[in-house]
């Protein structure tokens, strides 16, 4: 019984990992091909793409403390920088929120079923103020 459960668990994990890998790889291809953000034209993000994909939440979490408590704003790891570079425009030239369906942030977050709480407070498109 125990063996069966373990085997089932392992198979599940393996399948899950495969799907997750294929999913994020797909998301990458998607946003690169179908978007017009500043990031589309760039070779690489502020760090290698794989690193960003795996650790962006840690970088952002660290940066938020440094910014709020120490006032450091000149940094490549600020959320405002991510949004500024990755926001797309629609056919009328209007900015599309990064958390709208299929957009840069939401495409991966919807797939991986991870809540995206940043935008309860933070702007989803760059604003002048």
Partner 1 sequence: MKNTEPTDAGRRDFLGKAAATMVAPGVVLHAVAEAEPRREPVSGKVRWGMLIDTTKCADGCRACVDACDRENGLTLQSKPEDEDARKWDQQRAIWIRQVKVRDNLTGRVTGLPVMCQHCEFPPCVDVCPTGASFRRADGIVMVDRHICIGCRYCMMACPYKARSFIHEAVEEKLTLAPRGKGCVESCNFCVHRLDNGKTTTACQDACAKDGHGAIVFGDLRDPGSPVAKALAQHQSTQIRPELKLNTGVRYHGL
- Does the protein bind partner 1 through residue 66 (CB under 8 A)? yes
> Which residue number, 28 or 84, has a Cβ lying nearer to partner 1?
84
Site for partner 1 (CB under 8 A): which residue of 69, 93, 94, 101?
69
> Which residue number, 92 or 120, has a Cβ lying nearer to partner 1?
120
- Does the protein bind partner 1 through residue 124 (CB under 8 A)? yes
* In contact, 90 and 96? CB cutoff 8 Å: yes
* 22's tokens: 């294929």
- Does the protein bind partner 1 through residue 111 (CB under 8 A)? no
Site for partner 1 (CB under 8 A): which residue of 46, 80, 100, 110?
80
* In contact, 78 and 28? CB cutoff 8 Å: no
- Supply the DSSP string of 5-40, one letter for each residue: HHHHHHHHHHHHHHHHHHHHHHHHHHHHHH--SGGG
Strand partners, 95: 89
Site for partner 1 (CB under 8 A): which residue of 72, 90, 114, 116?
72
């Amino acid at each position: 019984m125990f063996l069966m459960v373990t085997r089932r668990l392992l198979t599940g994990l393996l399948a899950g990992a495969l799907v997750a890998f294929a999913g994020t790889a797909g998301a990458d291809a998607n946003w690169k091909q179908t978007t017009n953000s500043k990031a589309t034209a760039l070779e690489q993000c502020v760090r290698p793409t794989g690193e960003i994909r795996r650790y962006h939440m840690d970088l952002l979490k660290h940066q938020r403390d440094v910014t709020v408590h120490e006032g450091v704003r000149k940094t490549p790891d600020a959320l405002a920088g991510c949004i500024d570079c990755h926001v797309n425009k629609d056919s009328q030239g209007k900015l599309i929120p990064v958390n709208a369906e299929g957009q840069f942030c939401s495409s991966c977050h919807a797939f991986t079923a991870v809540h995206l709480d940043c935008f309860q407070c933070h702007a989803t498109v760059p604003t002048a103020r």
